[in-house]
């Protein structure tokens, strides 16, 4: 009962709708390391990323992040100083494991131009 003595009746379907709406189906899970990309410098982290973010990893150096729709891409580019460049890249949707030169990445979730990425085992 409310303080004014009136009763509020909520149907079962309305209660279910409220419960489902609060489940966060339209949101990303929390990343263990938040948005602190520097935590990846040891080769292990779980971070919230968006296109244009760069991770500095011990084995790969700079790893650039790109997100398009439900796909997250990791790309490492290197230059030998003599005009020769190489690029390693891999992309996947949520739940996919990506590997670049033995460095493992897991795409935890992707939504609305952002993603949760786990680096390392």
Nearest 5°: phi and psi at 59? -85, -25
Q: Is the pLDDT of residue 50 over 50?
A: yes
Average pLDDT over residues 82-98: 93
pTM for the full model? 0.76
In the block, residue with structure tokens 């997100």: 67
Q: Is the pLDDT of residue 47 over 90?
A: yes
Strand order across the beta sheet in which 45-50 lies: 45-50, 114-119, 103-111, 97-100
How confident is the model over 51-81, as pLDDT tens digits? 999 999 998 999 999 999 999 999 998 888 8
pLDDT at 23: 39
CB count, 10 Å around CB of 70?
Answer: 14
């Amino acid at each position: 009962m409310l303080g004014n003595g009136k009763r509020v009746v909520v149907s079962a379907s309305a209660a279910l709708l409220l419960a489902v709406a609060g489940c966060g189906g339209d949101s990303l899970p929390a990343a263990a390391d938040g948005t602190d990309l520097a935590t990846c410098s040891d080769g292990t982290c779980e971070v919230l990323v968006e296109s244009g973010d760069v991770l500095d990893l011990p084995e790969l150096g700079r790893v650039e992040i790109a997100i398009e729709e439900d796909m997250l891409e990791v790309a490492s580019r290197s230059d030998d100083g003599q005009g020769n460049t190489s690029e390693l890249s891999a992309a996947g949707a949520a739940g996919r494991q990506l590997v670049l030169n033995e460095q493992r990445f897991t795409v935890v979730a992707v939504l609305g131009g952002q993603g949760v990425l786990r680096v390392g085992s």
